[in-house]
Every structure is written in C-alpha cells, then in structure tokens.
Structure 1
Amino acid sequence: MMTNLFSVFDPMSSILNLPLNWLASLLGLFIMPFLFWMMPSRWSMMWSFVMYTLHKEFKLLLGPSFLGVSLIFISLFSLILFNNFLGLLPYIFTSSSHMALTLSLALPLWLAFMIFGWLNNTQHMFSHLVPQGTPPLLMPFMVLIESISNLIRPGTLAIRLAANMIAGHLLLTLLGNTGSSLSLSLLYFLILAQILLLTLEAAVAIIQSYVFAILSTLYASEVN
C-alpha cells in the first residue's frame, strides 16, 4: 500500500532485504557493449557524433592541462542519460530520481577536484575565494560566501537532477491515477496530455544529464 505520494519512487522489489530495483542502473552495462560488435548504423554514427561534440566542448572548457579527462564526463553524461530514459519506461525503476545515486555521482567528483586543487594549486584556490577588485572591508565576507557556495556544489548538483526527474514522474503519476474516473471524451485529452508530458520528460532527461556533466566540467576547470 502506498503510504505517501513519493513512495512510488521507493525501491520495493527485494530478495533477502536486497533492493533489486537498483539493478536498473546496471542495465546499460548489458545493453551498450553489444553495440560495439554491430555493423555501423545510423544510430551508432549519431551516437559517435554526439560523443565527439561533447568531447570538443569539454576539452575546450577543461583546457590543455586536462587531456583525456573529458572521457570521464562523457561517461558520466551517458550514464545519467541512460538512467533518465530508462525511468520513462513502464515498471522500470528511476534510479536518477534518488539522492542516493545523484549524490554518489556528485560528491566523489567534487571531492576529487578539491583535493587535486588544494594539493597542487593552493595559491590559485585561495585566489578563488576573493574575487578581483573586492574592497578590503568585504574580503572576510566574500571568503565566507565563496566557501559556502563551494561546499554546497555537490548538493546542488544532486538535488537539481533528482528534483527535476521526480517532478515530471510525479505529474505523470498523478494524471495517470485520474484516468479511471474520467469519461471517454476526457480520457482522450488525458492521453494527449500524457504523450506531451512524456515528450517533455524526454527533453528534460537529455537536458539534465547535459547540465550535470557541463557543471562538473566547469567545477573541474576552476581547480587549475
């Protein structure tokens, strides 16, 4: 029985208290590798074009000192995008709508950037705490504000992705539960609204995975 409105997002399928719904995040590992053994197709060429475009953009943001690091963010983009689209399919668990997954992606990345920056570019990291041209009287306040904004970055990354995925799925669930009480004429409008919302959710799935990856890239570029 559903105890509250958000319990539809809880992992319920389990064996020996092990939540099996989290295995939905690993479905890409079983599906994606087979694409490498297929003949070149329009799908593979389109995906290669997307990856190459992202690589050029990430490489431009990271600079020449982070050669090869763009592959990490391309993999991150692919993982989030795949899980977002899996959540649009019926009866498949949306792992990217949970803070357990989004924070597990954002926190280690941010922590690695901070450790690398403070160990290798300490003076540069200190300079980020005080923007250029700040009056001496405001410097303590700017250091405090910049420190807080830096500390909340993994939380904002995680909450942004989870909240956007939950909002659309919650609206789809609420509208879908009203279908049994509607007349036939109103049911057509409901189906049309659900199709439009699914289209919007597909766009949100792409946009949020791109935003997560591009913000992680910008945070990485600041430590060098």
Structure 2
Amino acid sequence: MTLSLFDQFASPTLLAVPLVILAMLAPWDMFPAPGVQWLGSRLLAIQSWVFKTVTRQMIMPMSVAGHKWALLLMSLLIFLITLNMLGTLPYTFTPTTQLSLSLGLALPLWLATVLIGLRYHPVRSFSHLLPESTPTLLIPVLIIIETISLLVRPLALGVRLAANLTAGHMILQMIASTTLGMLCVLSPTGLLGAVILYLLACLELVVAAIQAYVFVLLLSLYLQENV
C-alpha cells in the first residue's frame, strides 16, 4: 500500500529517458496563438484580458526597472498552472511534485533577484539584514537571523509548491481507493465517497492554480525588494 501510494510521485522513464522533459514541453502547445487574421477569436480575447489583468496586478507595485520581468513572470505563471492542472488528470505525471524541478525553478530565479539588488542597490540590499534603530547587542543576532531567512527563501518557494501538490494528490488517491473498495461491496457509503472525491478534485484544480500564482507572486515580491 505504501509503495502504490507514492509511486505516482516517482519520475517515470521510457527507454531510460525521463518523461519529465516531455511533460515540461507539453504546456506550451495547449494555448491558442494569434493568427494572421485582424480579429481574433473570443477565446484569444479572454486569454489576452486575463494575461493583462494578472500582469498589471503583479507589476504595478514595482518600479520601472522591474517591468522588464513581466514576460518572464507571466510565462512562469502559465507554465506552472498548466503543469499543475495537467497533473490532476488520470494516468498523468505532475513534474512540479518533484523537488528537483520546483527547486530548480526557485533557486536561480531567487538568486537573480538577489544579484540584481546587490548590483544596482547594494546599500539597500544590505540594509535589509539590519533593521533601523536596532540595539547594539542584538546586531550580530539579527544579522544571522535575517541572513538565514534570506537563504531559506528559495527552499520555501520550492518545497511549498511541491508539498501542497503532493498532499492534494495523496488525499485524492486515498479517498479514491477507499471509495472504490466501498463501491465494490455495494456499500451506500461509496456514493458519498464519490461525491466527496468529485468535490476534492474540483478543489485540487483551484489549489493547482493558487499554488502557481503564490509561487510567482512571492517571486515578484522578492524582485520588488531589489529593484
């Protein structure tokens, strides 16, 4: 039971080639692209409106220097939302449940924000390590604490994304297994379990979108501190 419960989080391979690479390429082909026509479809109009609204919400608090990150942040948001939602389909693989992918995205992007701050605003970047009017005796302790909290940020980004999706998938699998066993013995409780499973599946879709948005939002906040 333990092995079957966690098998869904193992990275599948085909002919010794990790399928995570194929899963990461799939989202880019699922969104409609503008054609040569002057007028687009309603789907393109809705997609464009959603992208502009979300981009405006994330970019407005930043300075002009941070607006150059708009394309990267929106691309990352669309990428993560699509990967997370595709993972809720049967017989599919969710790459974002792998710490190698989530940390692989979080670490370089976080490091880029830190390096930007050190390059263009070094004094302000170092000032975050020591709040104003700190007592002299607390200065070494606060510097250590703030440094640790700064270094933990990419770990928190990656682990939060992977852990939330992993927990949701595990709950769905446990309830699905229990519901299937109840339906096999013709238990009326199985119908209740099927309804709960359907509602949790809908909730998992919402969680998949929210976790992707939280990942990008926190990254934009880290960028806002350094531009």
- TM-score, length-scaled by structure 2: 0.90
Which letter does structure 2 place at the counterpart of 1:211?
A: V
- 2:172 paired residue number: 172
Residue 63 of structure 1 and its aligned partner are, at CA, apart by 1.4
Segments of 5+ residues of structure 1 without an aligned counterpart are: none
Residue pairs, 1:61-140, within 5 angstroms: 61-140=61-140
Q: Greater CA deviation, 43-52 or 73-82? A: 43-52
Following the alignment from structure 2 to structure 1, what is the Cα–Cα distance between the partners of residues 34 and 92? 25
Q: Percent identity?
A: 36
Residue pairs, 1:31-50, within 5 angstroms: 31-32=30-31, 34-37=32-35, 40-50=40-50
Q: Secondary structure at the match of 1:35?
A: coil
Aligned residue pairs total 222
- 1:30 paired residue number: 29
Q: Greater CA deviation, 51-60 or 200-209? A: 51-60
Following the alignment from structure 1 to structure 2, what is the Cα–Cα distance between the partners of residues 180 and 195? 13
Matched, 1:200 2:203: yes
Residue 199 of structure 1 and its aligned partner are, at CA, apart by 1.1
Residue 83 of structure 1 and its aligned partner are, at CA, apart by 0.4
Q: Secondary structure at the match of 2:128?
A: helix
Following the alignment from structure 2 to structure 1, what is the Cα–Cα distance between the partners of residues 192 and 86? 25
Following the alignment from structure 1 to structure 2, what is the Cα–Cα distance between the partners of residues 86 and 36? 23
Which letter does structure 1 place at the counterpart of 2:200?
A: L
Q: Greater CA deviation, 38-47 or 110-119? A: 38-47
Q: Greater CA deviation, 131-140 or 165-174? A: 131-140
Following the alignment from structure 2 to structure 1, what is the Cα–Cα distance between the partners of residues 163 and 199? 20
Q: Secondary structure at the match of 1:85?
A: helix
Following the alignment from structure 1 to structure 2, what is the Cα–Cα distance between the partners of residues 43 and 170? 34
Contact 2:28–2:79, Cα closer than 8 Å, also in 1: no
Which letter does structure 2 place at the counterpart of 1:30?
A: D
Contact 1:77–1:210, Cα closer than 8 Å, also in 2: yes
Which letter does structure 2 place at the counterpart of 1:18?
A: V
Q: Secondary structure at the match of 1:132?
A: coil
Residue 186 of structure 1 and its aligned partner are, at CA, apart by 1.9
Segments of 5+ residues of structure 2 without an aligned counterpart are: none
Following the alignment from structure 1 to structure 2, what is the Cα–Cα distance between the partners of residues 72 and 12? 28
- TM-score, length-scaled by structure 1: 0.91
